[in-house]
Chain A
């Protein structure tokens, strides 16, 4: 069992890791074909894995409803919403519109799903305002620097700001292109090296905790 649970996955990881790292350097169509096939496999596996996810979702909320846990009403709403959408989707054959007429499935998507998603995204504006208020309070030297930089960038990015303080446009560009870009690149270099190092550890089996199980 240990062999199947530990050695085999590590062997698969080693072989596929090396093969697909090498694939990057092979431009031959056979190499591209292999990558396309494996990407399709991943999509198929992902499709089957969705069954795992949905069954987990149903199970968790069924338990809540059965035990009448706090907020079980939300779980009930989830069940109704999910089963209702599945039923309507099957009834509409998965189509949002037929001959220019919106189906019930299309109605749910366009008049419920999209506005709800839009609402969540719109809330971001208010959250940004509250987060900015907290971080821009000049309680320390660093926060003061942040505040000044933010004010300059904000002024430089809107026409009225640049009209009132003409130099703010150039200053804002300088902050973004020099200070901000250099720090971002430094972070990205660190991230890239971290990614390569982690990949090396995984390919050569030095990092195994993602498999579950101990160090045997």
Chain B
């Protein structure tokens, strides 16, 4: 009986196993083709168009996400010249990537130029790496989905790359520039009507003191305009301040030495200095040689100016404009000669060296404010007020952004992200 019972148990267990195997086989046979069809349907919603806001030679491909999007599956972007495609298989594969990559949300398009929602797939075809897209020529583009050995291809779409006349992606920049320009003009108008308070800038107050000291000691003033040429705003600012310094130097009948690294800057500074001497009523004291060229080479220039400092021992050294590694070499040598040193630079990397070795340093924007501070002309002062309003706006945006980011992280809320995206793109 026991043996029979055991046999029955064995038989029933075997039957269950066989049944399970049959069921699995049936399920496999019945569901596999259907599953394969679902996973590898041709990519849907394929759109191809000329990439907007570019210089041409580029096409953008968009298509809808699919249920088979995963690292195992792949998408291929296929390209052929002309509007007709006789053989889909003959199209050139120009890109291949995992199917869970390349979404619109990962692209650099700001929200106002995004052609579709962030969930769509996106690929931008550009010239280079085996792809040559000529402006005005029509191309057929399609996308293939690949999973294991299966490959399905969407119906090709035609598009023609064209250069564009306006970069809409940078419209935020243009609007902000126009807004800031408007603020500056408004502030200038206000400054013409009433006086605007300017905070004290010790470095500029010290200009007179430095020139006075040089006059008392009977030693020259050394003025440098930085490493850049006249196309750089910091050099222009330095040249503008030179005009004020030269005028005072002329009035006090003190020698002025302006060594240059760039001939065009030298020519401009010669004109500015000449005019300053004229305005000071001392045209006879003006010397063409006060502005002189040394060399464009960084360390040769530094060695030459260091030599001038050690031999002529100027009583006041001015370092205005943009500087690189020579900053400390110049200012430390100047400090060793006991000269009053005033620096003004927008080179943030060199600021610590100037602050350490100079008596006064105009930090960043103070270099640009110097002209207004020294002249007190309404136009100049109004510009400063405009800059302050611009900074207040930026500060406000930074403050709001910080609060929203903190709230979003602390309370795990999604809505602050909308505002943060807005600020992120309007940068």
Contacts of B54 in A (CB 8 A): 27
Q: Is the CB of B307 within 8 A of A127?
A: no
Nearest neighbor of A182 in chain B, beta-carbon distance: B398
Nearest neighbor of A126 in chain B, beta-carbon distance: B332
Comparing A46-54, A94-102, A154-162, A164-172, the segment that makes contact with chain B is: A46-54
Q: Is the CB of A131 within 8 A of B180?
A: no
Nearest neighbor of A117 in chain B, beta-carbon distance: B299
Contacts of B367 in A (CB 8 A): 194
> B367-409 toward A: CB 8 Å interface, digit per residue (1/0)?
1110100000001100110110011001000000000000000
Contacts of A206 in B (CB 8 A): 188, 379-380, 383
Can you identify 17 A-B contacts, CB atoms within 8 angstroms?
A: A25-B166, A25-B167, A25-B171, A27-B53, A27-B167, A28-B165, A46-B229, A49-B264, A53-B266, A57-B293, A128-B328, A135-B356, A187-B363, A195-B234, A198-B236, A200-B184, A201-B380
Nearest neighbor of A51 in chain B, beta-carbon distance: B263
Contacts of B384 in A (CB 8 A): 197
Contact count band on A = 35 or more
Q: Does A4 contact B (CB under 8 A)?
A: no
Selected from A21, A51, A193, the residue in CB contact (under 8 A) with B391 is A193
Interface residues of A in 191-210 (CB under 8 A from B): 191, 193-202, 206-207, 209-210
Q: Does A42 contact B (CB under 8 A)?
A: yes
Contacts of A127 in B (CB 8 A): 328-329, 332
Contacts of A70 in B (CB 8 A): 311
Contacts of A57 in B (CB 8 A): 292-295
Which residues does B use to contact A, with CB under 8 Å? 53-56, 163-167, 170-171, 173-174, 177, 180-181, 184, 188, 229-231, 233-234, 236-237, 239-240, 243, 260, 262-264, 266-268, 271-272, 274-275, 278-279, 289, 291-300, 302-303, 307, 311, 325, 328-329, 332, 346, 348, 351, 353, 355-357, 363-365, 367-369, 371, 379-380, 383-384, 386-387, 390-391, 394
Which residues does A use to contact B, with CB under 8 Å? 21, 24-30, 32, 42, 45-46, 49-54, 56-57, 59-60, 63, 70-71, 74, 116-117, 120-121, 123-124, 127-128, 130-132, 134-135, 184, 187-191, 193-202, 206-207, 209-214
In angstroms, Cα B163 to Cα A199, docked, is 29
Selected from A32, A53, A130, A210, the residue in CB contact (under 8 A) with B55 is A32
In angstroms, Cα B363 to Cα A211, docked, is 25
Contacts of A116 in B (CB 8 A): 299-300, 303
Q: Is the CB of B180 within 8 A of A207?
A: no
Q: Mostly helix, strand, loop or mixed at chain B's interface? A: helix
Given A190-B365, A207-B371: A197 and B387 interface contact (C-beta under 8 Å): yes
In angstroms, Cα B399 to Cα A23, docked, is 33
Distance in angstroms from A29 CB to nearest chain B CB is 5
Q: Is the CB of A124 within 8 A of B325?
A: yes
Given A56-B266, A131-B328, A131-B357: A195 and B368 interface contact (C-beta under 8 Å): yes
Q: Is the CB of B267 within 8 A of A191?
A: no
In angstroms, Cα B304 to Cα A71, docked, is 12
Selected from B53, B264, B300, the residue in CB contact (under 8 A) with A117 is B300
Q: Is the CB of B266 within 8 A of A202?
A: no
Distance in angstroms from A216 CB to nearest chain B CB is 11
Q: Is the CB of A26 within 8 A of B292?
A: no
In angstroms, Cα B379 to Cα A47, docked, is 36
Given A188-B348, A189-B391: A26 and B167 interface contact (C-beta under 8 Å): yes
